[in-house]
Amino acid sequence: MNKPDSLKYAHQYGLGSGPMSVEPCVSEAYFEREREILFKHAWLCMGREDEIPNVGDYMVKDIDILQTSVIIARGKDNKIRAFHNICPHRLNKVMQPGEGNTRGFMCQFHGWTFDLEGKLAHCTNKELFNDFDQSKHGMPALSADLWEGFIFINHDQNPRDDLKTWVGDYAEMYAGYFDGMSLHGRWSVTVDCNWKNFIDANTEAYHAPTLHRQSLRDSFASPDNPNCAFNAVELHGRHRLGSVYANPGYQPMPIEGKSFTYAATPLYPATAETTANLPPGVNPSKNPAWAFDVSVLFPTMQLGTASGWYLLMMYWPIAVDKTLFEVSFYCYEAETAGDLIAQEYPAIHQRDVIREDMSTLEGTQQMIASGVLKEMVLCDEEITVRHNHKSVNDYLNENS
């Protein structure tokens, strides 16, 4: 085996190889800049369009980093809209977080009711108000748009970039990949760490042979690739993906191995056949020795794309040192019980492996906050970490 090239990605992408400041992970002032300059103008993924498939379907979510609560609803015209969850009368919060189907949204305080477009449909005893123009008192809108079936919102009613521009190269890279897969699992947790550290832990593979040495055994490393080097790294503007190697010689354990055989189309391991038809952004090297990709659509939407299933991982900053993390598992509609049982394996396995990734987060945050050391040292394979921090920093600098 050849000596690895410690400057491969540094040369390919020109992002350098020096240490990086960790101040942006503990600075309250930096976090407020992220909130005001980045998040209040960023396109943020809220889930899949097919989670609200029918007219009147809605979801309500409190979003700390935007300092608001948002209703997303499908209107009578089938269009998906987003508005602030606020009654313009006395500014009460109209709906509690959750989802459902409705004809409109009624404020429980005085009965003002809003239609699926956020317009004020009913004002209780309107004649009690002086000079009242009902059309001026709807729930304020956020921008909303769709990409590949994902719902995005933007706090900015006149975004700097439209969603297509924001998505950039990603627009074509995943064409059709998500079609036909539906929500088949979800878990969430709030962790005391900075959101960027959280993404870092889930988007480099250098840690796998150490941190996951028990859970992943030799499935992600082999004599050919002892460091679990990525099959490929692609940087697309502020977005990034790393394609994670799988050991083709891996011998599964009894129930794990059985689960692979129960699906009509095996979910694992990948084969030349199962990878051939994937779009360019999924397993970009088309190497069958492939587990999945870690892909981040800037700033906080992570996709874990595999053959026959994917993860949607969303990071919701709450404070500089606190982040809500939501993981959703999507797969094809099962035709047989065997399919369902095969799908259960990755749905559960990923959860418990990501919990290992999360095991370092609070300790890292604690020790960054100690202030003892001001910089982190990154190897070439950790280009995804470097690109994460650099993309945020560049965005803040370019837009302030």
Partner 1 sequence: MPQLPKEFKSLQPFAPEWALATREARYHKRISSSMEEIKAYYDAVLPQLDAMVEHLNRHSIKNLAAEDKNLLRMAFSAIEISRSVEVWNAPDNVVHGAYPAEKIKVHTLPYEQAL
CB-nearer residue toward partner 1: 164 or 213: 213
Residues that bind partner 1 in the complex, under the rule CB under 8 A: 182-191, 211-215, 217, 253-256, 258-259, 262, 334-338, 340-341, 344-345, 347-349, 351-352, 355-356, 358-359, 361
Closest among 360, 377, 381 to 19, alpha carbons compared: 377
Looking at beta carbons only, is 142 or 193 nearer to partner 1?
A: 193
Nearer to partner 1, 146 or 189 (CB): 189
CB of 207 to partner 1, least distance (A): 11
Burial grade of 266 (CB within 10 A; 0-12, 13-18, 19 or more): middle
Least Å distance, CB 191 to partner 1, is 7
Residue recorded with tokens 């992600």: 220
Identify whether the C-beta of residue 324 lies closer than 8 Å to the C-beta of residue 188. yes
- Complex with partner 1: residue 14 or 254, whichever CB lies closer: 254
**Measured from the CB atom, is 55 or 353 closer to partner 1?**
353
Q: What's the token pair of residue 260?
A: 């692979």
Distance CA 250, CA 212 (A): 15
Return the number of the residue (345 or 395) whose C-beta is nearest partner 1.
345
Burial class (CB in 10 A: 0-12, 13-18, 19+), 309: buried
Number of Cβ atoms within 10 Å of the Cβ of 391: 21
Minimum Å distance from CB 177 to partner 1? 21
Smallest gap from Cβ 256 to partner 1, in A, equals: 6
Q: How far is the CB of 156 from partner 1 (least distance, A)?
A: 30
Least distance to partner 1 from the beta carbon of 352, Å?
A: 6
**By three-state DSSP, how is residue 204 classified?**
coil
Q: What share of the chain is helix, strand, coil (3-state, %, to 5)?
A: 30, 30, 40
Count CB atoms within 10 A of the CB of residue 63.
Answer: 20
Amino acid in the structure at residue 85? N
How deeply is 345 buried, as exposed, middle or buried, from its count of CB atoms within 10 A (0-12, 13-18, 19+)? buried
Q: Which is nearer to partner 1, 161 or 344 (CB)?
A: 344
8 Å CB contact between 50 and 184: no
Q: How far is the CB of 4 from partner 1 (least distance, A)?
A: 25
Buried b (16+ CB within 10 A) or exposed e, 86-109: bbbbeeebbbeeeeeeeebbbbee
Residue 289 is encoded by which pair of tokens? 């020795």
Task: Output the smallest distance, CB 2 to partner 1, in A.
Answer: 31
Minimum CB distance to partner 1 smaller for 64 or for 117 = 64
Q: Could you tell me the smallest distance in angstroms from the CB atom of residue 197 to partner 1? A: 14
Please say which residue, 156 or 362, places its beta carbon nearer to partner 1. Answer: 362
Q: Is there a contact between 307 and 274 (Cβ–Cβ < 8 Å)?
A: yes
